[in-house]
Structure 1
Amino acid sequence: MSRLDPLPVSTSAPKERVAYLDNARYWVMLLVVIGHSLTELVVMDSARGVYTWIYLFHMPFFVLISGYTARHYVGDFRQIRRIVSTLIVPYLIVETGLQLITRHYDGEPEHFMILSPQWLGWFLAALFIWRLTTPIWRALKYPITTAVLISLLAGLIEIPNVLALPKVLGLLPFYVIGLHFDREVFLWLGHARNRIVAAVLLGGSFVVCLAFAQSWADRWPLTTWLLWKARYDELGAGPLEGIAIRALLLVIAFVLTLAALSLVPRGRSWTTTMGGRTFYCYLLHGFVILWLDRHFDLWQRIEPYGATAVLGCIATATIVANLLMTKPVATVFRPVFEPRLTWMFRDPSEDTQHLPGDHPDVWDRGVERTLPRRAHRPPSHHHLR
């Protein structure tokens, strides 16, 4: 038996999935796929307006939810094993696969840059870093303030793209806010009055993005700012101006995230089941988009159709996203993206007689879900798998 200090082993029963969180994942995953499908069409005002609106809040939304569901991470045996099998392994598969495709069609990258994610892999790398640093953010006296300062200052210096570090730091405040979110906030957001305000905010922001799409494109690269990774000077802003703009975008993203959270349905529906499989949709949709783009030049072919092409792209992306969240897809790709890897880890019984009862989640692997329900609502009995 190894003399290494044993990892703590969770002995708690697996938690039930929460319909609200899975509903939230479903709707934001639609925005992710739609946003990625519009990337090649942002030369058009209509596509740029929709793209800008989506990117104002969809990843901050996802990051905040990820932080909330990771708030009990302590680095026990089960959680460490889940990080390896459902973050590290999928990252290596997806990043290698995507770089092989772009290298085949474009000749780039000339050398594999596995630790420098070029596209989808950044979020898996970010979750890995955020998850490992969770105990730090739980221990600090002013964690949110610290995270905001890090985000604002990160744009001042050159940060290598190792494990997508610029985006990791730029979006860090939303993860830390999620870690410290209180259940009462979710309940408060669900009040009818707040939901009306949320609908107005989201609808109004959508109209503004469409109305000013051309104006913003002429004056400053807003879509690039919303990627949360470029230095301020690369975006044509000085240090103080850059900090001010990022601070404003942080506020806007947080407000719109709260609005989106307010409108997410609380009850169980078909979106709950689909939302439990967003993991596979996220990992696979990039391959679909790259194949359609590189093999068929799809976006170049449809660009002349203007707004019709944009609407068609949104509709097609919605269909593709739903197909990738179906049970057959999950059944086929679960062994690939969620390998058990029992051969890699020590048997936890060497350290304790209790084995972890694990029921992994889509985005917060190995983290128990504890979002309470109202007392008068019956508990859900749905499990992802």
Structure 2
Amino acid sequence: MSALDPLPVATAPPKERVAYLDNARYWVMLLVVIGHSLTEYVVMDSAKGVYTWIYLFHMPFFILISGYTARHYIGDFRQIRRIVSTLIVPYLLVETSLQLLTRHYDGEPKTLMILSPQWLGWFLAALFLWRITTPIWRALKYPITTSIVISLLAGLIEIPNVLALPKVLALLPFWVIGLHMNRELFMKLGDWRIRAASVVALVVAFIFCQLYSADWTTQWLLWKDRYDEAPLDATAWEGMTTRGELLLVGAVLTFATLSLIPRSRSITTVLGGRTFYCYLLHGYIIILLDRELDLWQRFEEYGAWAVIGFMVAAVVVANLLMTKPVATVFRPLFEPRLTWLFREAEPPSVRVPVDALPAVDGSSPTTGGRERASGGSSSQTSVPAS
């Protein structure tokens, strides 16, 4: 093949929308937006309990689903092109604009640090690094154990925030677990006994957070600080023990939530296919409402009522940002086609029939394939999509 020949497309199966996964994305996106809306109130006991409960598992949940949807990544033409258009380009746009916005209001950062994500961009950077290393995690003999060891040891050393590397390594086990999940495991989570236990686990965790989180350091839940630096101020053993406990709790609550996610199609399925835009845009709304209107400061005196109000507002905003008009307007910006950048690819020689793929929602392979093909528009995009 000469340098000017069209690039081949490998035989990785084309991705079809699955109701269960889009439902999962919808609910976890609500948690993301609610969690970010409570950040300014985390010093209040009425908000800290909810904030802590959400942060115990919302990113582990998101990352595990992302890993599962990326398990077929092999670096073919289609996948590389998608990485550029839905991860690299949005990362550069969002990170640059948010840093310029915060510098305008707060004076920080004084110089742009595009490779050092300050807020939302970290997850896009993490998805990029996790995805391109996926073949390694698929090839290792003990991938989950190896990822846990890396996570525990990462907090012992100083790691620069290049492409959010401290968080990438700390949260790595959830990505690797997702890569090694299969449809049968997801189906087993729907057993009524597991669902009953899941409700208990989530309720107990919520009550525990309400009762005891006032004395906890929430910085542990950001997964980015070295153990022995402020505000963690932990010994090596304390740091690894605490992170190990967070990994375990995050995994338990993630699987508990996954067991309760509906399998059938609904409005949340449609909205869940557009979480990509909600994730990228909600940060701008929070910054503008805070800096321009000083909204959180104005309502702080109302205590718990303010917390409830902002949670309700977060749900409303999240749903609006997952609507079709928002996707239509921002798709050219956040998902550019980039036909001018990529060479033409050869047609794939082998395709895996959609009907050959088993359904997550319990329908037959043939029926499930047709439903997924017709149910989820290819224009719908979610953050964890591969």
The one of 237, 243, 247 equivalent to 2:244 is 247
TM-score of the two chains, using structure 2 as the length reference: 0.91
Contact 1:16/1:382 (CA < 8 Å) preserved in 2? no
Secondary structure (helix, strand or coil) at the match of 1:159 reads coil
1:374 CA displacement: 2.5
1:32-76 deviation line (CA, Å, top 9, x unaligned)? 000000000011001000000000000000000000110100000
Contact 2:263/2:361 (CA < 8 Å) preserved in 1? no
Q: Which runs of 5+ in 2 are unaligned?
A: 352-356, 380-386
What is aligned with 1:366? none
Contact 1:8/1:75 (CA < 8 Å) preserved in 2? no
Cα 1:195/1:65, change in 2 over 3 Å: same
1:340 and 2:333 are equivalent in the alignment: no
Task: Give the aligned length.
Answer: 366
Which residue identity is paired with 1:383? G
1:3 CA displacement: 2.4
Distance 1:356 1:316 in 2: 48
What is aligned with 1:312? 309
1:204 CA displacement: 1.1
RMSD between superposed Cα atoms in Å: 1.9
Distance 2:7 2:94 in 1: 29
1:79-107 deviation line (CA, Å, top 9, x unaligned)? 00000010000000100110111011111
What is aligned with 2:228? 233
Contact 2:263/2:360 (CA < 8 Å) preserved in 1? no
1:282 and 2:279 are equivalent in the alignment: yes
Q: Which runs of 5+ in 1 are unaligned?
A: 358-368
What is aligned with 1:302? 299
Which residue identity is paired with 2:362? R
Distance 2:245 2:265 in 1: 35
1:224 CA displacement: 0.3
Distance 2:111 2:190 in 1: 49
What is aligned with 1:383? 376
Q: How does 1:1-385 map to 2 (within 5 A)?
A: 2-3=2-3, 8-10=8-10, 14-216=14-216, 221=217, 223-234=218-229, 235-348=232-345, 352-354=346-348, 372-376=360-364, 378-379=367-368, 380=371, 381-384=374-377, 385=379
Distance 1:371 1:291 in 2: 42
Percent identity of equivalent pairs:
70
Cα 1:355/1:292, change in 2 over 3 Å: farther
What is aligned with 1:362? none
1:7 CA displacement: 5.3
Cα 1:4/1:249, change in 2 over 3 Å: farther
What is aligned with 1:365? none
Contact 1:87/1:128 (CA < 8 Å) preserved in 2? yes
1:276 CA displacement: 0.2
TM-score of the two chains, using structure 1 as the length reference: 0.91
Cα 1:295/1:155, change in 2 over 3 Å: same
Secondary structure (helix, strand or coil) at the match of 1:212 reads helix
1:274-318 deviation line (CA, Å, top 9, x unaligned)? 000000000000000000011111111111110000000000000
Secondary structure (helix, strand or coil) at the match of 1:230 reads coil
Contact 2:144/2:176 (CA < 8 Å) preserved in 1? yes
Distance 2:318 2:123 in 1: 18
1:233-273 deviation line (CA, Å, top 9, x unaligned)? 01110001110110011000000000000010010000000
